[in-house]
Amino acid sequence: MGFTREELKAKRIGVLMGGLSVEREVSLRTGAAVMKALGGAGYDVVAIDAQKDLPERLRAERVEVAFIALHGRYGEDGCVQGLLESMFIPYTGSGVLASAAGMEKVFSKQVFIAHGIPTPPHRAFVDPQSALAETDTLPFPFPVVVKPSREGSSVGVHICRTRDAYRAAVEDAAKYAGRILVEQFIKGREVQGAVLDDEALGVIEVVPGREFYDYEAKYQSGSGTRYLFPAPLPKEHYDRVNEICLAAHRALGCAGATRSDVIITASGDVYILEVNTLPGMTETSLLPKIAAGRGIGFTELCERLLMGAALKA
C-alpha cells in the first residue's frame, strides 16, 4: 500500500479541487496550495476541477494517482472515493466507508458512542417541523448548537440561547445536506487535534475573534482568530485530547490525515465534535500549522499524504 517518492514522480498526479459543494472556494484554495507545493517539488501535477465530467477529465488527463483536495459533499463524503475505486485510480486520504461515516455527523457520533469516545449529547431530526416540535422537550437545556449533519467548515452552524434563535437556526440548517443535528452546548476551550499516518501529531488551540470558530473565523483574514501550538493545556489534558483524536480516527477507519474538533472544559473533560477526513490545506488551515509545529513543512506534508495514496475497497 502506498508509493515511494521515486514512484510518484514518474506518475501523473491529479489534484482534485473545487467541486460542487458549498465549500468550493475553500477547496480551490486548498488545491492551489497543494499544486504549488507538489509542482515545486518536481511532481507531474494537473489541476482537476471536480465537476460532473470528472471521469472524462481523469481519463483525458491520464491521471494515475489522485490527490483529493475537495471539501464537503461529493468530495469528502465517499462519492469521489467510490468513483476513483471504480476507475482503479489510487487516491489520498480515507476510503469510501470512513469518508461517508466521517461526513455524516449523526452516524459518526453513534460510532463514537459505541467506542466509548465522549461526544456531546444530541438529538437528530429529519425535518425542521420535528425539530421545532421538540423545542421545549429537548433532553438538555439551552444553549444548544444546531447544525446540518452533512456539511463542513461550520456551514449552517449556530449557537442558540433562546427559542427564537433556535427556530431561525433550525430553518437555516434545513437548507443544507443531511439531518438537523441539535447538540448540547459544552462550554470550554476549542482545540483541534491532528492525526497523520495513524499517529497523533498534536493539539492546537483556536481562540476565535468571534463567538465561536465559524466560517468567517476560519477563512477571513483579519478575523482576529489566534492559534496556539502546542495548545497551552496541562500535560494530562493535552495527552487526553491526542488519545481521543487518535481513537476517533481509528474508530471510523480513517487513513492519511484527519483533524478533529474538540471541546475541553475547565475541569478537563474532553468532548469530540467531529472528525474531518479531508482537512483544509490553505494558508490559515490547522493541519499544516500543527504539522509545522512538529517540524513537518507544507511540501513534506503534501508528500506524506501523496505517498499514502492507495485503493482501499
Q: Which residues are catalytic?
A: 23, 153, 219, 259, 261, 274, 276, 280
Torsion from C-alpha of 131, 132, 134, 137, nearest 10 degrees: 120
Torsion from C-alpha of 248, 102, 25, 221, nearest 10 degrees: -30
Map residue 243 onto helix, strand or coil. helix
β 12-17/65-68 pair status: parallel
Find out whether 275 and 254 touch, Cβ atoms under 8 Å.
yes
Q: In whole angstroms, what is the distance from residue 127 CA to residue 109 CA? A: 19
| Nearest Cα to Cα of residue 61 among 85, 74, 82, 44 | 44
Which cell numbers in the block locate residue 116? 466509548
**Phi and psi of 96, rounded to 5°?**
-60, -50
Q: State how far the alpha carbon of 284 is from the alpha carbons of 33, 54, 206, in Å.
A: 11, 28, 12
Find out whether 302 and 38 touch, Cβ atoms under 8 Å.
yes
